Amino acid sequence: MLQVHELHFRYKNTAVLTDVRIELNKGEILSIVGPNGAGKTTLLKCIVRIFKPDAGRVLINGIETGNMRRIDLAKCVGYVPQSSPSKFPIAVFDAVLMGRRPYVTWKPSKKDLQIVADLLKVMGLEEFALRDFDQLSGGQKQKVLLARAFAQDTDILLLDEPTSNLDLKHQLEVMEMISRMVKEKGAGAILAVHDLNLASRFSDTIVMLNAGKIFCKGRPRDVMTAENIRAVYGVEVTINQDNGTPYILPIRTVEQAEVISD
Amino acid sequence: MQDICEQYKGLAGRKLCFIIVFVALLLGMSLVALSLGASSLGFRESFAALFDDSGTAHAIVWKLRLPRIIMAILVGCGLGFAGTVFQAILKNPLASPYTLGIASGAGFGAVIAIVFCAGFHTQYLVAGSAFFFALVSSFLILGISRLKGCTTETMILAGIAIMFLFSALSSLLQYMGTMEQVHEIVFWFFGSLSKVGWKEIALAAVMVCLPCPILIRLSWDLNLLSAGDESAKALGVNVERIRITGIVLASLITAGVICFTGVIGFIGLVAPHITRMIIGGDHRFLLPASGLVGGAVVLTADTVGRTLWSPQVIPVGIVTSFIGVPFFLYLLMKKRKEYW
């Protein structure tokens, strides 16, 4: 349902993304991994047209996003940023209600309010509904942003490091929520992730980016090999296969390994 | 536990109540203000004089007191409203109708009219010139941000630069002007409601009342801006367009009121904050409510200013700050510590 064709993006004079091709199918979770600065976030932002790609096309169900109105695109693609700055106080309920913006011009309907209320309940945010967003913990904030994207009711979800600031339990909770929502709705999700183990466990496809180019892509166990990780991250790892899910254990950086072998 | 939906609706209902109560309060304050003044005209007499079209009481009420009251409310409403819009689109709590150099633009316009048309300048010439230059400064900002991208930082920094430019130009003209001219200029900068008649009120009312509904319609988008430009874009908001529309309309409101009254600075900064502390940040309620709070504060200030040392009248711009600052600081201290 989502295709990225030969996408190029330059920031000033530096190529950030070069010839990126991705395909996302219904019911699929695709994770983008890669070192800092590889272009993960930029790729997500190009898909949702926060950035305008210099060349290449992004197609959603065959329609090119460049030709869509922003509000129509917002009905197809939801985006969860890494963090959300909040300059002015805002209630959690209102923060989630913003997800209904593509469907509401002025007054949210009963249905909109009900959707938000149900989401807050499901995600265990009920008791914070009328609290200030800024007073929440990192994990709760992340859930609120996720709830906002769910409220947007899109078939495609883009998530920028949804688990980066979370403790172990919240990480799993958030990933399980995304996974459930994708499977139940037949939606598709693209995640930018740092945690290779979390990515391997929850994704159907992994795309490994290095310096703006796709280094390799495929099923987790084909992508997560010691050679690939060594080449892209410069880190030596050992990989245990646990029921077909690769488990990555970092050993040392390649530089350190060379010092030792000298 | 009570249904969240009901709770949320209850909260929205309370916000609406606040607005309705404040409208009533403002009407009540106007009646009180109507009965206060240099001439000893009591509550009943002034109220009766409203409808009795003969005698001095009628003249005092209709020519002196009522225009001041209505203009005070208009100015307060306009500046409170515009201030909320500027804070939302610039995402900056320090933003006010004057942040983009609008006040110094208007000031420069007034100074030009006073100095160069010495002797034959009318009030309208001063007002027209102030209005024109207020808009010039906001269009300069828009031009700069079109070239450089509509980020809040560009706009604020460009605004401050423009502000200094116009202040310097005003100072230069004052330096060249005569004593009487300088006196008039200084008086203009105080902000005053003394020279306001019905024609000015009609013009200012148009400038305030036309843009407001459009801005209220955009309140959802203004709400979304506070979630960050990127989130707002991903939720379907055309961020650049909102920012430009907001600035143009809010500048029109600001220019429309201050060109007649001079600089009444503090209210546009503070009315939005006071209101936000009371009813929260949802612009659907915040916009009209800040207008009402602004109107109430300026009306109070003007009424105090003309009764305190009556028949001496203290310019409203000065009293506004004297009343607004302590009230604002009180709220700031009382409110939980992390307001931002």
Categorize the per-residue pLDDT at B150 as very low, low, confident or very high, splitting at 50, 70 and 90: low
Lowest mean pLDDT of B132-141, B184-193, B294-303, B326-335, name the range: B326-335
Domain range for B212 is 4-334
| Chain B residues within 8 A of A72 when measuring between CB atoms | 236
Task: Identify residue B190 by its one-letter amino acid code.
Answer: F
Note whether B289 and B19 are within 8 A (CB).
yes
- In the predicted structure, residue A257 carries a pLDDT above the cut 80: no
Q: Which of B313, B262, B260 is nearest to B36 (CA)?
A: B313
Note whether B325 and B269 are within 8 A (CB).
no
For residue B281, give Cα distances in angstroms to B2, B50, B51: 23, 39, 41
Q: What part of B 215-274 touches A (C-beta under 8 Å)?
A: 217, 220-221, 223-224, 226-228, 230-231, 233-238
The whole-number pLDDT of residue B339 equals 47
Note whether A101 and B236 are within 8 A (CB).
yes
**Rounded-to-integer distance, Cα A180 and Cα A208, Å:** 24
Mean pLDDT across the stretch B97-119? 85
The whole-number pLDDT of residue B4 equals 81
- In the predicted structure, residue B84 carries a pLDDT above the cut 60: yes
B6 shares contact with chain A (CB less than 8 Å):
no
List the Cα angle B25/B251/B323 in 5-degree steps.
40
The whole-number pLDDT of residue B338 equals 45
Q: What part of B 59-98 touches A (C-beta under 8 Å)?
A: 87-88, 91-93
| Chain B residues within 8 A of A114 when measuring between CB atoms | 5
- The token pair at B282 is 């949802």
Mean pLDDT across the stretch A19-32? 93
Note whether A89 and B281 are within 8 A (CB).
yes
Instruction: Flag whether B8 is in a domain.
Output: yes
Walk me through the domains of chain A, giving residue ranges and CATH numbers. 2-224 (3.40.50.300), 232-262 (no CATH)
Note whether B294 and B77 are within 8 A (CB).
yes
Dump pLDDT digits (tens) for B3-54. Answer: 888 888 888 889 999 999 999 999 999 988 888 876 767 777 777 777 777 7
**Rounded-to-integer distance, Cα A79 and Cα A97, Å:** 15
- Cβ distance B280 to A89 less than 8 Å, yes or no, reads yes
The residue of B233, B242, B283, B287 whose CB has the most chain A CBs within 10 angstroms, and thus the best one to mutate to test that interface, is B233
Mean pLDDT across the stretch B311-328? 83
Instruction: Flag whether B282 is in a domain.
Output: yes
B11 shares contact with chain A (CB less than 8 Å):
yes
| Chain B residues within 8 A of A120 when measuring between CB atoms | 4
CATH number, domain of B86, equals 1.10.3470.10
Reduced to 3 states, what is the DSSP secondary structure of residue A7?
strand
Q: Which of A48, A89, A106 sits opposite B281 (nearest CB)?
A: A89
The whole-number pLDDT of residue A209 equals 93
Lowest mean pLDDT of A147-156, A253-262, B20-29, name the range: A253-262
For residue A240, give Cα distances in angstroms to A120, A207, A227, B102: 38, 20, 14, 65
Dump pLDDT digits (tens) for A176-199. Answer: 999 998 998 889 999 999 999 999
Instruction: Flag whether B295 is in a domain.
Output: yes
Instruction: Flag whether B105 is in a domain.
Output: yes
Query: Can you name the residues that pair with A156 across neighbouring β-strands?
Result: A77, A188
Task: Identify residue A209 by its one-letter amino acid code.
Answer: L
The whole-number pLDDT of residue B142 equals 86
Lowest mean pLDDT of A64-73, A237-246, B55-64, name the range: B55-64
- In the predicted structure, residue B77 carries a pLDDT above the cut 50: yes
Q: Which of B274, B261, B121 is nearest to B197 (CA)?
A: B261
Give the phi and the psi of residue A29 in degrees, each rounded to 5.
-110, 125
- Cβ distance A90 to B281 less than 8 Å, yes or no, reads yes
Instruction: Flag whether B340 is in a domain.
Output: no
Q: Please indicate whether residue B41 or residue B237 has the higher confidence score (pLDDT).
A: B237
Q: Please indicate whether residue B207 or residue B337 has the higher confidence score (pLDDT).
A: B207
The whole-number pLDDT of residue B118 equals 65
Instruction: Flag whether B339 is in a domain.
Output: no
Determine what percent of chain B falls in helix, strand and coil, rounding each to the nearest 5.
80, 0, 20
What percentage of chain B reaches a pLDDT higher than 70? 96
Q: How many CB pairs under 8 A join A and B?
A: 109
- Cβ distance B5 to A90 less than 8 Å, yes or no, reads no
Measured between CA atoms, the residue of chain B closest to residue A113 is: B5
**Rounded-to-integer distance, Cα B316 and Cα B262, Å:** 10
Mean pLDDT across the stretch B103-126? 83
Biggest alpha carbon–alpha carbon distance for chain B: 73
A74 shares contact with chain B (CB less than 8 Å):
yes
How many CB atoms are closer than 10 A to CB B178?
A: 10
Lowest mean pLDDT of A9-23, B84-98, B112-126, B324-338, name the range: B324-338
Categorize the per-residue pLDDT at B337 as very low, low, confident or very high, splitting at 50, 70 and 90: very low
- The token pair at A91 is 């209630």
Q: How many domains does the structure of chain B reveal? A: 1
- In the predicted structure, residue B291 carries a pLDDT above the cut 90: yes
What value does the mean pLDDT of chain B take? 86
**Rounded-to-integer distance, Cα A94 and Cα B7, Å:** 12
In the block, residue with structure tokens 């900056």: B92
Which segments of chain A are extended strands (E)? 2-11, 14-24, 28-33, 55-60, 63-64, 77-80, 156-160, 188-192, 205-210, 213-218, 235-242, 245-253
Lowest mean pLDDT of A11-15, A97-101, B42-46, B199-203, name the range: B42-46
The whole-number pLDDT of residue A87 equals 67
Phi-psi region of A84 (alpha: psi -120 to 50; beta: other; left: phi over 0): beta
